[in-house]
Amino acid sequence: MDVNDRIHAQLVKAGVKLAASLPDDWVNTLIRRVERGNEIRHVRVGREAETIAICAGAFFGGVRSVAIFGNTGLLTCTGEMATLCLRHMIPVFCIVSGRGSIDDHKVYQEVQGRRTIPLLQAYDYPYKIVDKDEEIDDIPNAYEWHRLQKRPFILFLTKKLLGTKA
């Protein structure tokens, strides 16, 4: 199993049945893996805040879900995450590419790399940076924990973990 197969398997183990996503080249392989299987229904959206709304709505239907997108989208939708999810205490599990890291030299990821974590801390959104293969097994635990936190939770996937060339 490659890394994306393992992430997918752990999401299934956590009981996830629905995914909403917007592409980012670091997480596209994971999105395709979700689409390829029949365990998780996939919803394509037009902007990242919609992934949050899809998951928030699914929560009230008793369905476990995941939002998958890039760090740029996280930066743009933190305010909507606050007014929807903090306002109503709705947990949403997000898997986000950890763009802008020291091994990411794309100029348009530079701001995300510097400002995302301080922004999450300002909103008090919990997060975990997954850099090692064995940490993928923590996804079911993280899923239960984020429900207890009653707010958006961000699981960052690093370039090193994903082994991406992009």
Partner 1 sequence: MKANECMKVLAKHRGDAVVVCALGMAANEWWAVTRSEDSFYMHGGMGLASTFALGLALAIPETPVWVINSDGGLCMNTGTLLTEAGQQPRNMKHFVVDNQCYQTVENMPMVNQDGADYTMMARGAGFQRAVTIDNLDELDRKLPEIVAAPGPYFIRLRIEAETDYQRAPPANYEGPEMKYRFGRAMEKKLGIKVFGPRGF
Q: Tokens 């959206």, residue?
A: 45
**Of the candidates 18, 26, 24, which has an alpha carbon nearest to the alpha carbon of residue 130?**
26
Count CB neighbours of 64 within 10 A.
18
21 vs 158, which CB is nearer to partner 1? 21
Contact in structure between 84 and 59 (CB atoms under 8 Å): no
Among residue numbers 116 through 155, which ones bind partner 1 (CB under 8 A)?
147-148, 150
Q: How far is the CB of 56 from partner 1 (least distance, A)?
A: 5
Out of 1, 46, 107, 108, the only residue in the binding site for partner 1 (CB under 8 A) is 46
Q: Exposure of 69 by Cβ count < 10 A (0-12 exposed, 13-18 middle, 19+ buried)?
A: buried
Question: What number of chain residues touch partner 1 (CB under 8 A)?
Answer: 35
Among residue numbers 50 through 109, which ones bind partner 1 (CB under 8 A)?
50, 52-63, 65, 80, 82-84, 87-91
**How far apart, in whole angstroms, are the C-alpha atoms of residue 97 and residue 109?**
11
DSSP state of 146: H
132 vs 141, which CB is nearer to partner 1? 141
Q: How far is the CB of 101 from partner 1 (least distance, A)?
A: 29
81 vs 130, which CB is nearer to partner 1? 81
Q: What is the DSSP string of 67-96?
A: EEE-HHHHHHHHHHHIIIIIHHT--EEEEE
41 vs 115, which CB is nearer to partner 1? 41
Out of 3, 7, 11, 20, the only residue in the binding site for partner 1 (CB under 8 A) is 20
Q: Residue numbers of the site for partner 1 (CB under 8 A)?
A: 18, 20, 41, 43-47, 49-50, 52-63, 65, 80, 82-84, 87-91, 147-148, 150
